[in-house]
Amino acid sequence: MNLKEDVIDLIDQSIADNFLDKREKKKIKEALKTLNPDKRISDFLRSQLFDIAKNRVNNENYLEVINWIEGINKLILAANKYEVQQESVYFSPGEECLQAILMHIKSSVNRIKICLFTISDDRISEALITKHNHGVMVLVITDNDKLFDKGSDIETLKSAGIAVRIDNTDSHMHHKFALFDDTITLTGSYNWTRSAERYNHENILITDSKKVAREFDREFNQLWKQFPEL
């Protein structure tokens, strides 16, 4: 078993009682210190963290598991010395962009703000609905003309209870960005569609810059106030 697998195994063991005690916390912290994860490994560990939680959570233990997630997540982020002002870039065709998007959706604990021209990849939509059903606030701004595209998932998201607002101008709302827990910004040419993943030459940039997050959050909030509900 390698160092990364050691950490994942310790994380998996610590959820047995839905509680992260001091002994488990110390073991995971020491294992992470030995692993010394960079940004990509840190992101992978966080993705595994949420997969483990997904297999464990139920209506009875939901709050306990959320607290456990937050505890482990803080340990992982603290161990990643590259976390501050870190950027990652992904390209399509291929699953790089898709997997990065799904990982950050799964990793979100409090809030996801999405401002996209269109969403039609049901793998992403299903992940958003799952987070919404688990109490994470999901807000979506999109272009009104794209509602009628074949395969559009906007109505599905709205029907699931996710708050959606649409551009009501003669021009397009052509933004492509998302904010995760008010700290991680995702932007780039990549639309959240299967065509973008399978065929198109697209890109996304993900950054934890606080300044970037503030600017994108300001733009999102302005549009949210300006546009009507679907």
Per-residue pLDDT tens digits for 110-122: 999 999 999 999 9
DSSP 145: G
pLDDT > 70: what percent of the chain? Answer: 97
Catalytic (active site) residue 6: no
Catalytic (active site) residue 181: yes
Per-residue pLDDT tens digits for 131-148: 999 999 999 999 998 888
Residues 167, 168, 174, CA angle at the centre, nearest 5°?
30
CA dihedral 78, 79, 83, 87 (to 10 degrees): -140
Write down the catalytic residue from 149, 181, 182, 217.
Answer: 181
Per-residue pLDDT tens digits for 44-81: 898 899 899 889 888 888 889 888 998 998 899 888 75
Mean pLDDT of the chain: 91
Q: Is the pLDDT of residue 85 over 80?
A: no
Write down the catalytic residue from 131, 167, 176, 208.
Answer: 176
- What are the extents of the domains in the chain? 3-79, 87-226
Whole-angstrom distance between the N-terminal and C-terminal Cα of the chain? 50
- Average pLDDT for 147-156: 89
Which residues does residue 165 pair with via DSSP β-bridges, in sequence order?
141, 229
Choose between 1 and 193: higher pLDDT: 193
- pLDDT given at position 150: 84
Residues whose CB is less than 8 angstroms from the CB of residue 180 and which lie 6 or more positions away in sequence, other chains included = 104, 105, 107, 108, 111, 112, 186
Containing H/E element for 42? helix 39-56
Write down the catalytic residue from 174, 201, 210, 211.
Answer: 174
CA dihedral 61, 66, 69, 71 (to 10 degrees): -110
- Cβ–Cβ < 8 Å for 149, 118: yes
- pLDDT given at position 1: 55
- pLDDT given at position 83: 45
pTM above 0.85, yes or no: no
What is the CATH T-level fold of the domain 87-226, as seen in this structure?
Endonuclease; Chain A (3.30.870)
Q: Is the pLDDT of residue 24 over 90?
A: yes
Q: Is the pLDDT of residue 93 over 60?
A: yes
**Local structure of 44: helix, strand or coil:** helix
- pLDDT given at position 58: 87
- Give one DSSP letter per residue of 88-126, joined into a string: EEEEESSSHHHHHHHHHHHH-SSEEEEEES-B--HHHHH
Catalytic (active site) residue 176: yes
